[in-house]
Each structure stands twice: as structure tokens, then as C-alpha cells.
Amino acid sequence: MPPPRRAGAGDTSAFFAATLVLWAVSVGFEIGARGRRELAAVAAGFAFFQAANTAVRAAVSRDLAVIFVLLCQWRTKGLENMFQHEELVGSSWIGAYSALCFSCGYFAYDQLDMLRYRLYSGWIPGILMHHLILLICFTLALYRNVTINYLILTLLCEMHSIFLHVRKLRRMAGFRDFNRKLVKLEWVLNWTTFVTARVICHILITYRLITDAHKFDKGIELPLALSGMAGMNVLNVSLGLDLFKAFARERNQQTHQD
């Protein structure tokens, strides 16, 4: 049973639910009316995660797919060639398009799940904004078949999401002893992946977009990419603050118990 509705939650959920419906109609139109069968992987991703259990929903399968794509390209083209502007913008690595479609399906599923069970807080929930930004950027890129490889790189940040899910599952299971070695290890991995896979990765992508700005053709690609990365960097700051508060709270609770 969903939790009681909070004040202001109705306006928030209505906005994000409306954007999700518009997104679904748009994807359905592209697949059905325009014959974009390659986008069926979006629906497949949504259906897969809708049917999956909690353990599978921890984003492991998506992250493994992204890592597999990157490792294959590293082996065949080398790091230097992988990150050339033409490679990142105009090409699509083997499996990258399908992986991006599947990830779109996941974010749509997760957005719906959070809206149904109100798993968010605040007037502008960071997690809902995160998913909305990704759905917009990913879907437009899939429609135009551009910057696919850039967006695959942004998905490296989801490595950190694994440990966010692990922390949630650990607390749900009642393991809240901050002095336990496994809990400390989880926090080390949480902070390490947050800094490397999320913060540093997004800063480097933003830097590359700025330095290669003159190489983009006139159009929506560069403004959309820059605005999307700006939003992601702001959300990273917000997530970092929330993570620090959670870390301090758990440590203080353990201190009081001792």
C-alpha cells in the first residue's frame, strides 16, 4: 500500500507523471507509426525491470552492459581513438545503441515505480529530476542517432548507484552497526564510486564538450549536451550533500549508542 500523500506531493507527482506519459507516447509513436523497431529495446528494458525482483533492479545488469561495451571498444580501438570527437558524436559503438535503449527503459520503469510508491521527497526531488534529464537526453539522442557514445560514458555514474542500492537494502535488513567492517567497506566503496564514476567522470565529459564545442555542427546536440551535463553536475552536488548527511547521521547514531 502506498504511503500517505504528503503536502505538495500531488503537484510534484502530477508534473513528473505527465512528462513520463508524454515520453511514453513519443516512444510509442516512433516505434509504431514511424517503424523505428530498433527502439523496441526501450520497451524491453522497461518490461524486464518491471518483472525483475529487487536484486536485479539494483542496476547491475545495465552497468555490466555498459562496461562490456567500453571494454570491447578499448580492446579494438584503444583509449586514444575511443575518445575522439568524431567517435563520440557521429559513431555508435557495438552494442551501445541497444544498451542506451535498455537504460531508457530502466529509467522509465524506475521513475514510474517512485511515482507510484512516492519514493521521493521535496518539491523538486533530485532522483526524479535525474531520471527526467536522462530520459530527455537519451531519447532525443536515440531518435537522431547522435552522441550515443557520449551518453554511454555518462552511464558510468550508475556504478555508484549499485552501492546506493546496497546501502538501502542493508538498512532495510536491519544492519546499521557503523562499526561493522562490511558497513565501513560499503561506505568506502560508496564514496569511491561517487567521486570517480559520478563526479570526476561527469566533470571530464563536461570539459570535453566545452573543448570540442567548435567541432559540433550547428543544431541542438551541443546545447542539449551542455545543459544536460550542467543539470547532472548540479544533481551530483546535491547527491553528495545528501550522502554526507547520511554518513554523518549513521556515524553519530553509532557514537550515541556506544
Confidence of residue 125 (pLDDT cuts 50, 70, 90): confident
Higher pLDDT, 80 or 4: 80
Give 117: exposed, middle or buried? Use CB within 10 Å, 0-12, 13-18, 19+: exposed
Higher pLDDT, 77 or 230: 230
The sign of the torsion formed by the CA atoms of 218, 221, 224, 230 equals: negative
DSSP-derived secondary structure for 46-78 = HHHHHHS-TTGGGTHHHHHHHHHHHHHHHHHHH
Cα first-last separation, the chain = 36
Is pLDDT above 90 for 211? yes
Is pLDDT above 90 for 135? yes
In this prediction the pTM is 0.83
pLDDT tens-place string over residues 50-99: 887 554 555 455 666 788 888 888 888 887 788 889 889 988 898 899 99
Is pLDDT above 60 for 13? yes
The sign of the torsion formed by the CA atoms of 221, 224, 227, 228 equals: negative
* HSE toward the beta carbon, residue 177, CA cutoff 13 A: 6
Non-local CB neighbours of 61 within 8 Å, separated by 6+ positions: none
Is pLDDT above 90 for 188? yes
Burial 83-105 (b: 16+ CB within 10 A, else e): beeebbbebbbebbbbbbbbbbb
Is pLDDT above 70 for 8? no
Confidence of residue 26 (pLDDT cuts 50, 70, 90): very high
Q: What are phi and psi of 168, to 5 degrees?
A: -60, -45
Question: Rounded to whole angstroms, how far apart are CA atoms 209 and 85?
Answer: 9
Joined grid coordinates for residue 256: 550515541
Is pLDDT above 50 for 7? no
Say which range, 14-28, 68-82, 101-115, 133-147, has the weakest mean pLDDT: 68-82
pLDDT at 70: 86
Say which range, 60-64, 106-110, 142-146, has the weakest mean pLDDT: 60-64
Sequence-distant contacts of 176-182: CB under 8 A, at least 24 apart: 176/250, 176/253, 177/254, 178/250, 178/251, 178/253, 178/254, 179/254
Higher pLDDT, 51 or 155: 155
Query: Other C-beta atoms within 10 Å of 123: how many?
Result: 8
pLDDT at 1: 47
pLDDT tens-place string over residues 167-182: 888 888 877 777 788 8
Report helix angle 40-51 to 96-117, nearest 10. 50
* HSE toward the beta carbon, residue 101, CA cutoff 13 A: 22
The sign of the torsion formed by the CA atoms of 111, 88, 198, 122 equals: negative
What percent of the chain has pLDDT above 90?
Answer: 49
**pLDDT (average), residues 109-130:** 87
